[in-house]
Amino acid sequence: MLVVRLAEERSIEIWATMEMLAELKETLHYNRLAPRLRELKLTVGDLIAAVASLVSLTELGEIERVVPEDADDDIFPNCARAVTAEYLISGNKHLLRLKEWAGIPIVAPREFLEREFPSELQVTEPN
């Protein structure tokens, strides 16, 4: 994924909390993801280690209630606000419905790339 490559190249900085990494780990254990992990010959531990190597960690104080449909998602916009992020990039439908919070646009990866790295996006797409 292009966003991951940009993070590897340090063209963008990705922030997370330990709680967010724990939620990712839980999600990666979903049965529906097991076939894909086997196909890629990766373990959940491999993926968590890779993600941890790409992110900068922050800690949050009190979590403000933000996402009406799912309180577990509140950590993501709160993290974005805590680090004064320029974007919150997500594929989560509950977060994307917000469109913006605390002045931070909430966008899908594709929209982020179209806004900030359109030339990179064109290079990766077939003609």
- CATH fold of 2-122 reads Rossmann fold (3.40.50)
CA-CA distance, 127 to 21, in Å (whole number)? 37
- pLDDT, one tens digit per residue, over 50-93 is 999 999 999 999 999 999 999 999 999 999 999 999 999 999 99
CA-CA distance, 73 to 28, in Å (whole number)? 16
Q: Where exactly are the structural domains of the chain?
A: 2-122
Could you tell me the pTM of the whole model?
A: 0.85
CA-CA distance, 103 to 87, in Å (whole number)? 9
Q: Virtual CA dihedral for 93, 95, 97, 99, nearest 10 degrees? A: -140
**Exposed, middle or buried by CB within 10 Å (0-12, 13-18, 19+), for 76?**
buried
- pLDDT, one tens digit per residue, over 3-40 is 989 999 999 999 999 999 998 999 999 999 999 999 99
Question: Residue 120: CA atoms inside 13 Å, Cβ hemisphere, count?
Answer: 18
